[in-house]
């Protein structure tokens, strides 16, 4: 097979397109001929040496989500057949023409979606479903604030939250990105470079906040949340160490939670896959549309990483074979 490998930690130029041995297929796995792979911020962190692959996962080939065709089956596979179109969450190795995936962590490519559209579903939908809806317990009666609404996680959260009837607020960095969030369904957007999001939103009822920044946002998030609110973290790019007034948490009965996904075991991911298939897959292509910003050839992965780091995009970037 061909794959993009991280030759050493550094900038996008360390990514190289090389030949590799096609991975073996274990008894419970399918071999997927990859047609498209989503590009995510953790891929950039891994390239820089800040997000190592968990044990047992290929260490130098990034990529956490793929879509393609099943071309081989392990001995115990019962859920899939050769020729099936699937998308899948992977622990790594997605930037390649082939990847082996456990059968229970694959989902069918929804009718009407391209491989490129399907490839950007798993990482964001798994993250949002587990954190916003299961941990954050978002319901139709709630208001949710999504920091960074125009990216992959943000665009996914906006659409799913609206599909379930919630009221959605977002922050973003430019007028164009704010407009994009509004077009996706956000009820109110704040350009955080022009306005203090706390000052703008302090009179809104916000029950859930999804944040990947932390840092200076933390105290404002705590102050914004309504009683019994839930603050959910999926990263802390602006600083993990934050000041906490525990009395505010007690007085407002707040829940502070968060999670990472990559290192979770197969059993957890399989259970999450079933939940997503039941609750989210019916919306796809209807109340939810995958937001592909640009398709870039796999061999030009460095270009995709440069675009990712520039921030000049909406939705998701996709590598295509």
- CATH number of the domain bearing residue 217: 3.40.50.720
Residues 51 and 107 in one domain: yes
Residues 6+ apart with CB under 8 A from 60: 5, 6, 7
Residues 206 and 241 in one domain: yes
Residues 156 and 274 in one domain: no
Residues 160 and 179 in one domain: yes
| CATH code of the domain containing 59 | 3.90.180.10
Residues 74 and 153 in one domain: no
Would strands 65-73 and 85-89 be described as parallel, antiparallel, or unpaired?
A: antiparallel
Given this model, what pLDDT does residue 286 score?
A: 79
d(CA 197, CA 192): 6
Q: How confident is the model at residue 56 (pLDDT cuts 50, 70, 90)?
A: confident
Domain termination residue (choose one: 258, 279, 302):
258
Q: How confident is the model at residue 7 (pLDDT cuts 50, 70, 90)?
A: very high
Main-chain dihedrals φ then ψ at residue 277, nearest 5 degrees: -60, -40
Domain termination residue (choose one: 215, 230, 258):
258
Q: What percent of the chain has pLDDT over 70?
A: 100
Domain termination residue (choose one: 258, 290, 312):
258
Residues 149 and 224 in one domain: yes
Would strands 292-297 and 316-320 be described as parallel, antiparallel, or unpaired?
A: parallel
Given this model, what pLDDT does residue 54 score?
A: 87
For residues 185 and 159, the answer to whether their CB atoms sit within 8 Å is yes
- Over residues 120-154, the pLDDT tens digits come to 999 999 999 999 999 999 999 899 999 999 999 99
Q: How confident is the model at residue 287 (pLDDT cuts 50, 70, 90)?
A: confident
Residues 14 and 138 in one domain: no
Residues 189 and 227 in one domain: yes
**In 3-state terms, what secondary structure has residue 233?**
strand
Would strands 29-39 and 316-320 be described as parallel, antiparallel, or unpaired?
A: antiparallel
Residues 148 and 248 in one domain: yes
Judge whether residue 278 has pLDDT over 90: yes
Residues 197 and 295 in one domain: no
Given this model, what pLDDT does residue 285 score?
A: 78
- How far, in Å, are 201, 206, 253 from residue 156 at the CA level? 21, 18, 28
Judge whether residue 99 has pLDDT over 90: yes
The range of the structural domain enclosing residue 271 comes to: 2-121+262-320
Domain count, the chain: 2
**What average pLDDT score do residues 273-280 get?**
96
Q: How confident is the model at residue 170 (pLDDT cuts 50, 70, 90)?
A: very high
Residues 284 and 220 in one domain: no
Residues 35 and 103 in one domain: yes
């Amino acid at each position: 097979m061909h794959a993009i490998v991280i030759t050493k930690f550094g900038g996008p130029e360390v990514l190289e397109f090389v030949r590799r041995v096609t991975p073996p297929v274990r008894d419970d796995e399918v071999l997927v001929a990859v047609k498209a792979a989503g590009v995510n911020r953790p891929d950039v962190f891994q390239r820089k040496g800040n997000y190592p692959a968990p044990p047992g996962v290929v260490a130098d080939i990034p990529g956490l989500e793929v879509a393609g065709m099943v071309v081989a089956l392990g001995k115990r596979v019962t859920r899939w057949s050769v020729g099936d179109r699937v998308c899948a969450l992977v622990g790594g190795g997605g930037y390649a023409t082939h990847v082996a995936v456990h059968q229970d962590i694959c989902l069918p490519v929804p009718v009407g979606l391209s491989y490129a559209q399907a490839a950007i579903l798993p990482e964001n939908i798994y993250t949002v479903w587990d954190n916003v809806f299961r941990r954050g317990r978002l319901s139709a009666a709630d208001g949710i604030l999504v920091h960074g609404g125009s990216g992959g996680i943000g665009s996914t959260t906006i659409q799913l939250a609206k599909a379930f009837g919630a009221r959605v607020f977002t922050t973003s960095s430019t007028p164009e990105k704010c407009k994009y969030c509004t077009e996706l369904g956000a009820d109110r957007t704040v350009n955080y470079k022009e306005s203090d999001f706390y000052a703008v939103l302090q009179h809104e009822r916000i029950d859930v906040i999804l944040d990947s920044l932390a840092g200076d946002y933390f105290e404002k998030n705590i102050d914004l949340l309504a009683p019994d609110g839930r603050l959910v973290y999926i990263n802390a790019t602006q600083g993990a160490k934050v000041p906490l007034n525990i009395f505010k948490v007690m007085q407002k009965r707040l829940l502070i939670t968060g999670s990472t996904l990559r290192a979770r075991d197969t059993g957890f991911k399989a259970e999450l896959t079933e939940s997503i298939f039941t609750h989210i897959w019916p919306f796809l292509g209807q109340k939810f549309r995958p937001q592909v910003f640009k398709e870039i050839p796999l061999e030009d992965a460095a270009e995709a990483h440069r675009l990712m780091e520039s921030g000049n995009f909406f939705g998701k970037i996709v590598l295509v074979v």
